[in-house]
Amino acid sequence: MKLFRNLLDSVKPQFDEGGKLHKFLPAYDAFETFLFVPDHTTHSGSHIRDGIDLKRTMIMVVLAMVPCLLFGMWNTGHQHFLALGEMTGLGDGLIDKLLYGALRVMPLVVVSYGAGLGVEFLFAIIRKEQVNEGFLVSGMLIPLCMPVEVPLWMVALATVFAVVIGKEVFGGTGMNILNVALTARAFLFFAYPTMMSGDKVWIDASTADGQTLADSYTGATALGDLANLAKMDAGAEGTTAIWSTFQAGGDYSFMNAFLGFIPGSVGETSALACLLGAGILLFTGIGSWRIMLSMLFGGLVMGAIFNLWGDNMFMEVPPHHQLVIGGFMFGMVFMATDPVTASQTNTGKWIYGFGCGFFGIMIRVFNPAYPEGIMLAILFMNVMAPFIDHYVVQANINRRLKRLKVA
């Protein structure tokens, strides 16, 4: 690191006032504070006096996503070879699967960061201010919530749209009202639905001609396709065969879904990997346990209501099973807990998280037009978060006024 420090110090005069590259000072500052803790502290407007800036927090969130990234690369390779009938065992070809998955996933990550940071740098130079730190997290979230087969140019287009329209027009990091990564995913879904849903987008089986491998209903599994078949007149034998895939030993059993051995978006299939990331966020105090717990509870409540209703097979999926399929766990850990777009008050966090889980399962089951309900549920609750906080604060003010009148 001393080499990098010396190199940065040697070129710094070029970016200082009067230097040839002064207008690119925000770019220099971004690289410097990314590599090193800044040497300045807050002197006013805050109770905290610390040299650790937001970049350190964002990097910790990125580290929490590493389990999802690594598992996603392995599972991409595993599903590819499984579709081809090669190395079908979970322990077969571990390195081959990981390397193949890395070759397919890492370009998504590189394009996401390249496009997003390019826009961030451009806006920083135009505004003559420091580069915002928020995209360090969004740049990883975007490829992890995408299908592996999405074209790279679409990833770049969606990233630019999300950063410009979803964040920069509101003033940059800390001012956006919608989660940037979910904005990118929503843009692609509505602009290019055939590339974000269908029966062939979740598995890279380019050499397997004409194979229908998985459906996109939940955004990460074939559950919705199976559920839609169950709603139709498939006959007793067909319905029984469909339902058996969710039972112990089936392709989409609870354990397979929990561990992540199913087709899906790159980083969303493994609930276990998401929970490992949750542990890191909770241990470091970055993630909100109130939002995670309340979203979990909201999903269980909606799943239990559907179980009581029992109008079709999809409603009869056990509540705990609903939580480990699709993007529920990934959304709960990394999307709903976004400190900018989530509720800020403690009571508001309980309401906000519950709504994310409750409406996520509701949309998933009720509306087959949308692949997965978690994306839309979290975006909806992002919009509602300021209203929730407003009424929570107002209720607290009213209670205090009543106590004052009594006194």
Let me know if residue 324 belongs to a domain: yes
Which distant-in-sequence residues (6+ apart) come within 8 Å of 81 by Cβ? 87, 88, 93, 96, 97, 100
First to last CA, the chain: 62
Cα 350 to Cα 366: distance, rounded to the nearest angstrom: 24
Q: What is the pLDDT of residues 240-289, one digit of tens each?
A: 555 667 777 777 889 999 999 988 899 999 999 999 999 999 998 899 99
Which distant-in-sequence residues (6+ apart) come within 8 Å of 403 by Cβ? none
* Rounded percentage of the chain residues whose pLDDT exceeds 90: 46
pLDDT of residue 369 exceeding 70 = no
Q: What is the pLDDT of residues 100-128, one digit of tens each?
A: 999 999 999 999 999 998 998 888 778 77
Cα 274 to Cα 72: distance, rounded to the nearest angstrom: 11
Let me know if residue 126 belongs to a domain: yes
What's the token pair of residue 216? 């996109």
Residue 298 exposure: Cα atoms within 13 Å on the Cβ side: 29
Let me know if residue 7 belongs to a domain: no
Give pLDDT, residue 170.
Answer: 84
3-state SS class at 103: helix
What's the token pair of residue 58? 């964002």
Mean pLDDT over the full length of the chain: 82
Give the DSSP letter string of 245-310: TTSTTSTT-HHHHHHT-S--STTTS-HHHHHHHHHHHHHTT-S-HHHHHHHHHHHHHHHHHHHHH-
Give pLDDT, residue 46.
Answer: 45
Residue with token string 């990997």 = 273
The larger pLDDT score, comparing residue 127 to residue 293, is at: 293
Domain that residue 97 falls in = 19-39+53-398
The larger pLDDT score, comparing residue 334 to residue 365, is at: 334
Give pLDDT, residue 110.
Answer: 97
Give pLDDT, residue 212.
Answer: 44
Cα 379 to Cα 43: distance, rounded to the nearest angstrom: 36
Least confident of 36-45, 59-68, 139-148: 36-45
Let me know if residue 212 belongs to a domain: yes
Average pLDDT over residues 22-41: 62
Let me know if residue 162 belongs to a domain: yes
pLDDT class of 359 with cuts at 50, 70, 90:
very high
Q: Number of folded domains in the chain?
A: 1
* Whether 206 contacts 151, CB under 8 Å: no
Q: What is the pLDDT of residues 154-187, one digit of tens each?
A: 999 999 999 999 888 887 777 889 999 999 999 9
